[in-house]
Structure 1
Amino acid sequence: MKHTLSVLVEDEAGVLTRIAGLFARRGFNIESLAVGPAEQVGISRITMVVPGDDRAIEQLTKQLYKLINVLKVQDVTEVPCVERELMLLKVNANSVTRSEVVGLAQIFRARVVDVSEESLTLEVVGDPGKLVAIVQVLTRFGIREIARTGKIALTRESGVNTEYLKSLESKLGTA
């Protein structure tokens, strides 16, 4: 199972290196990584997606707390969250296919950020599933390049689990 960890750290040189070293020593692969300033000056939030069972993630969390500069570790996998990623996607689009590519991009609320004779570059923001879906839809035109950020996530203060609501709607047929 993939776990999403949100880690608050003091914003100092070497913190990310120590965390990555811990993961490497334990044989864990970090599938997604995003780092940026948090709500307080001098604090950064690291959001990681890591494969592993609950027990392994619990051990990893304990090890993270032992590192200098780690302030808080939270496994937000089962917590209601808002999750987003950003992707830049360069897709083949000539004069014949351009309008179809733009139409499909609009369905996904993607923005065209660059145009050339033979391609379009799209900016797509959304949950990871949305990014996978647009790539699948546009693959038939030919994907030239992809650049993706890591997943970022914040817990929902409302406590509403929209993923649960979506699955409930689909089961009831009201989607």
Structure 2
Amino acid sequence: MALPNRVQYLNTVANPEITRDNRRAQEEEKRRLERSRQEFAKKTAARNNRMKMSAVLTILFMATALFVTIFRSGMIYNMQKEYVELQNETRLTLKNNEALQAEIIKASSIGEIAEKSIALELVSVGQESAIAADLSRNNFMEDEPLVEQPKFTDKVFSMLNLNFFN
């Protein structure tokens, strides 16, 4: 039995292998924790990058869809405008056509034609003012004979009085 106030001094020297193992274990634990932190940071950065990229792609998709929608709406607006213009032109053409038909009916009446011819002092043409042509004979003038034009070289040589080709 030991005395309560006494300290036993048996083997009180620290074992260097135990402290070395403890230090190694602590250093190994620190390295493992540091690697774990680095891996966690990499995973977090990769996740954040994926989230940013998905946000950018979503914004890009929405902008593209908006552009296409606005572009198509503009095309539809232009087509409607052209349609209304064509309808207006069609109505105007139909009104002009009706007016022209009324004018044709007026102009085709013989009484109207007679009145206009009297107003213009037109003279009716009879058979005596017609020209008769006999198509069985040749009513045209005779052709003039073609005279061959001298060539440029002939003109030059004739001016020089050189008669090589005669």
Pair in the same fold by TM > 0.5: no
Larger Rg: 2
Query: Which structure exhibits the higher relative contact order, with contacts defined as CA atoms closer than 8 Å and separated by 6 or more residues?
Result: 1
Higher strand share: 1
Using structure 1 for the length normalisation, give the TM-score: 0.10
